Amino acid sequence: MMDKVYDKEEYILCAAIHFLDGDIHEHQPKNIETGYVIAGRRHHNCYATKWIFDKNKIDDIQGFITSRDRFVNRKEAFEIAINAKQCDKEDIDTLVAELLAKPELTLKEKLFLQELNALDTLAAIVRQLYNQIKGVL
Mean pLDDT by 10 residues, the chain (137 residues): 62 94 96 97 93 92 96 94 83 74 60 72 79 78
Whole domain around residue 66: which residue ranges? Answer: 2-136
How does 70-85 read in b/e, with b if 16+ C-beta sit within 10 Å? Answer: bbbebebbbebbbebe
Residue 117: the pLDDT is 72
Residue 96: the pLDDT is 78
Residue 120: the pLDDT is 73
Predicted TM-score (pTM) of the model is 0.68
What total of structural domains would you count in the chain? 1
